[in-house]
A and B are shown apart, each in its own frame.
Chain A
Amino acid sequence: DVKVTQSSRYLVKRTGEKVFLECVQDMDHENMFWYRQDPGLGLRLIYFSYDVKMKEKGDIPEGYSVSREKKERFSLILESASTNQTSMYLCASSFRAETQYFGPGTRLLVL
């Protein structure tokens, strides 16, 4: 079974803090993705990576950065958290254009 894990299920941070969300997959997938999910808006792609050290912006990259130093790990970074970044964050991985497998999500609250 494909396993995608996210470092935290719930996080509470203060405005202005630097926040790291970690995602690890165990299937040697090339592609990894970070989404943000908000009620009524579905899933929106923040960033994706198609190889180590390679990344591309998604639909809503502002306020976020990413890091992929190893194939199995993809990190999402909020450089200076703001209240409008309170959301559910979902990580996924896939082999080429095949099925994306999702982690359980991290619910982030920024106060």
Chain B
Amino acid sequence: AQSVTQPDIHITVSEGASLELRCNYSYGATPYLFWYVQSPGQGLQLLLKYFSGDTLVQGIKGFEAEFKRSQSSFNLRKPSVHWSDAAEYFCAVGLPSNTGKLIFGQGTTLQVKP
């Protein structure tokens, strides 16, 4: 069965430090890959997505992610974290079908220290 794993439930980084959030998936083929961010009490906002092509994807708010087929991973990175980046981050895998269903990881909560 398809699954998405975000190994880190909670991460704390200092403002200005670099960030990497991990995401691993289990799927027989190359799926569509997404990262979403959720601020407290809000819905999910798309940060970036990978469908095909260049494996390094740029997103909004200075985030990027790299698809590594050999590791079944799609890790999210940011070179310098801002206090406003504190939020919950979800990795999701999409199945290439018309239904557009997504499978979500359990989420990683990011805390930013001043």
Contact = CB atoms under 8 A, between A and B. Distances in A.
Contacts, number: 61
A30 B100 CA distance: 10
B43 A48 contact: no
B96 interface: yes
Interface string B42-68: 111110010000000000000000000
A21 B49 CA distance: 29
Q: Specify the main secondary structure of chain B where it touches its partner.
A: loop
Interface string A39-51: 0111101001010
Interface residues of A, number: 28
Nearest to A103: B43
B107 A42 contact: yes
Interface residues of B, number: 25
Interface in A10-31: 30-31
Interface string A98-111: 11111111010000
Interface of B: 9, 32, 34, 36, 41-46, 49, 90, 94-102, 104-107
Interface of A: 4, 30-31, 33, 40-43, 45, 48, 50, 56, 58, 90, 92, 94-105, 107
